[in-house]
Amino acid sequence: MTSRILVVEDQEPIRALLATVLARAGFEVDVADDGAIGLQLAKANPPAVVLLDLMMPGMHGYELIQNLRAFPGTARVPIVVLSAKAYASDHRKALDMGASAYVQKPFDTDDILRLVTSFIERTTLTFWGVRGSCAAPGPETARYGGNTPCVTIEHDGHILILDAGTGIRKLGLHLMAAAAGRPLSLDLLVSHTHWDHIQGFPFFVPAYIPGNRLNVYGPRSAEKPLEKVLRGQMDVEYFPVALGDLAAQLAFTEYRGQPWQVGPFHVRPGYLNHPGLTLGFRIEVGGLCITYATDTEPFRTLLPMSPSAHRDSGAFGRTQDQALVELVRGADVYIADAQYTPEEYKKKTGWGHTNYADAVETAIEAGAKHLVLFSHDPMHDDAEVDHKLSECRAMIARRGVPLTVSAASEMVPLHLPTPAPAAATPKSA
């Protein structure tokens, strides 16, 4: 099927050039010279990728990004900003608002084609729930979101679900709408069975539909099989429907030390430092590596605080922390526990979470490319998450390392272009 690209650009020569180059490469192209017309076209027929200018009369580019992100049919479409604006603040603003890439004019048409193609053959991360410990909905958390953990990785038509916090409820509705009556085969990785990571499971509609299949992967707890723990939260004392009433076919796989191949996703679990048995996941797909490691606390800070601490506890802790560093090593994206500020962590040591500064340290040590702050504390409003993010940016700038950082935000997708095998010779246009 031919992919449709929408070009929204008020300067006629650039619009015509892009339309010609994209059409020649085999894409269907829609063009608009204003944001409002672009939005109309996108809503009527959602494109595979949107290329848009920032400075346009009528509805400008920032407003168009906002509107595209707010409309369900285009909420997760990759958006490439093409602008002559070279200010870092404009780049950041566009990306923070949900743009997937920012290309400064003048551009090379070969680069644009490569970028568009990479987004079509893309891997997409979507955050359906970002909050640690307890859901925290309300106007004060509306921007980053109040649901507990649930993340999806989509690649080439396959979807992998990470955790079943309250965010999975909305994901279930989205999957049902997209399936339009066709049976679903879904894969869910559960990091651990603390309530905030499983409490959305009883509200996951696809699990109630006969003909659907749900494969659940996770750790075996010290006492009970994974299935029994999930069944436990649906006991009659807590919930009106039992796990046995779920009409989909359910299959459970517990971690026994071997990696899992789940469709195109190669998953290497590793234990994290958190009360009970908790897994982080290193997921490789399409030449990319994504590490999901939330609900974890550094051994190096925790062990010296223990009543049975030893003078070598700090040094020993650092060696134990290497397991997490290896799980993150070279990751394109590291979704990290960043629940607390360093000040809060001093009062909450031993609670099984960590602070943003530790997340930055681990990302730098492991050579990760993009750190996503995750598991936002329920006490943190949007302004506090903004503050954590700016502190991380300052830390990274001081260290002078090429690490991107963002804060997980519900329904703001992260599009990861497929790594290019080799760059073609640039051609000016």
**Residues lying near Zn ion in the complex (CB under 5 A):** 194, 295
CB closer to Zn ion out of 337 and 410: 337
CB closer to Zn ion out of 109 and 362: 362
CB closer to Zn ion out of 194 and 282: 194
Sheet holding 79-83, edge to edge: 28-32, 4-8, 49-53, 79-83, 101-104
CB closer to Zn ion out of 85 and 194: 194
Residue type, 411: M
For 58: left if phi > 0, alpha if psi spans -120 to 50, otherwise beta; the answer is left
Output the smallest distance, CB 278 to Zn ion, in A: 6
CB closer to Zn ion out of 83 and 355: 355
Output the smallest distance, CB 129 to Zn ion, in A: 13
CB closer to Zn ion out of 74 and 199: 199
- Which residue sits closest to Zn ion, CB atoms considered? 194
Output the smallest distance, CB 297 to Zn ion, in A: 10
Please give the Cα distance from 242 to 230 (Å, whole number).
10
Distances (CA, A) of 368 to 85, 325, 333, 360: 28, 9, 7, 10
Output the smallest distance, CB 352 to Zn ion, in A: 6
Output the smallest distance, CB 198 to Zn ion, in A: 10
Please give the Cα distance from 129 to 147 (Å, whole number).
4
Output the smallest distance, CB 133 to Zn ion, in A: 8
CB closer to Zn ion out of 194 and 370: 194
Output the smallest distance, CB 132 to Zn ion, in A: 8
Please give the Cα distance from 337 to 397 (Å, whole number).
21
CB closer to Zn ion out of 198 and 303: 198
CB closer to Zn ion out of 39 and 198: 198
CB closer to Zn ion out of 74 and 133: 133
* C-alpha dihedral, 363 to 396 to 356 to 135, nearest 10°: -90
Output the smallest distance, CB 199 to Zn ion, in A: 12
| Residue whose structure tokens are 């994290």 | 272
Q: Check: CB of residue 109 under 8 Å from CB of residue 21.
A: yes
Output the smallest distance, CB 343 to Zn ion, in A: 22
Output the smallest distance, CB 318 to Zn ion, in A: 23
